[in-house]
Each structure stands twice: as C-alpha cells, then as structure tokens.
Amino acid sequence: MTSRTWMLWLLIITVAVRLPTMFGVKRTGWDERAYVVFAQTLDKNGVSGIRQWIHDYRTTESLQKSPLLLRVGFIVPAMLTCKILGGFNVDNLEWLSFACGVALVLVGAQFAENLAGRKVSILCGILLITSPLAAGLSRRAMQDTFAALVFLACLYFFDQCWRRRGMLAHISLGICLCLALLTKNPRCSSIR
C-alpha cells in the first residue's frame, strides 16, 4: 500500500469514527462563546475592533476571564470558518476544530511514518483516532486542536528541513512557527 493510499484510508476511518460523535454536544463554554465574539468583532470592525477589546481588557472583568485577544492565529481562521458556514455561532466554529482534529491524525501518522516506518504510523493513527482527549477537543469550538495541529506541523516541517533541505520545508517551518506564536501566546502580566 502506498503512502497516499494509507493516508486516504486513514482520513476515511478518522472521519467515520469521529463524525457521529459531533452531534448533540452542548457547546456552552465561556471560551467557546468568547472566540465566536472575537471572530465576529474582527469580521465587523476589523483590527480596530480587536484593538478596542485590548484597550478595554484592564477594566472589563469578563474580558479578563476570556482567552487572550492576541490569538489572531486562531481568530482569523475562526472568522473565515464562520463566514463560510453562514453564521457566527459555536456550532460553526466547532467544525474548524473537527477539521483540525482530522488533520492532526493525518499529520501525526505521516510524521510517525517518516520517523519510524509504517507499523508505527498505523499504531500512531489508531491511538490518535481513539484518544478520548483528542476526540473530545475536536468536538469543542476552541483553539486547542488548532494549536496542537500547528505545533505538530512545526515539528513535522523541522524534521523535513533536516531530511530534504529544500526551500519549501524551510518556508513551511517559518510559516508554522509564526502561526504557532500567533495562536498560543503566553499570558502577559503587562496587559493587565
């Protein structure tokens, strides 16, 4: 079986296992709603809307409980996903997490195959598909699965830089590193 055929089967199996668990989940978490509001603000007011949220951060208690607004690496894809799916709500944003969860399985299995061969790739794929934590995070409208995918992509492309030494791997690594920093920035005490 070629690598492409294996990845296609893995994609089909991952979607078949994870898709039925997507429906009937109540997505009412604070962070989930906050990301929807941030994405909607970016859509309506652009960068000036995010700038206003950051300005109000010190004096607004609900903003201080929310995820940081500087996570534009996730807020921009969240905005685009909600626009494509026709509305700013947690159910539409959750599909971004689902897609990232599926991609995480594929990238993880491919990375495992590059490092240790097909048998380890199959084992890695099975573990990633059936992981309760990974599956649970894929059902939430939060940035955790997106961030995990971006960080795994950083490791994957770093490995590719050593193996192929091509310009595309270096550019991809740079893009993933920038996206990782824009997605999961540390909490800064200076904002408060």
108 pLDDT more than 80: yes
Residue 157's nearest CA partner among 114, 93, 102 is 114
18 pLDDT more than 50: yes
Is 107 inside any structural domain? yes
Measured between alpha carbons, how far apart are the two ends of the chain, in Å? 55
Residue 90's nearest CA partner among 74, 78, 73 is 78
Q: What is the pLDDT of residue 159?
A: 92
On whether the CB atoms of residues 102 and 15 are closer than 8 A, the answer is yes
Is 4 inside any structural domain? no
Is 101 inside any structural domain? yes
The tens digit of pLDDT for each residue in 120-141 reads 999 999 999 998 888 888 888 7
Is 87 inside any structural domain? yes
- Model confidence at 186, pLDDT cuts 50, 70, 90, reads low
Is 145 inside any structural domain? yes
The whole-chain average pLDDT of the chain stands at 85
Q: What is the pLDDT of residue 191?
A: 45
Residue with tokens 């959750």: 94
Is 22 inside any structural domain? no
- Range of the structural domain that residue 166 is part of: 28-183
Is 16 inside any structural domain? no
Is 189 inside any structural domain? no
- Contacts of residues 60-64 at CB distance under 8 Å and 24 or more positions apart, as own/partner, are 64/192
Number of domains in the chain: 1
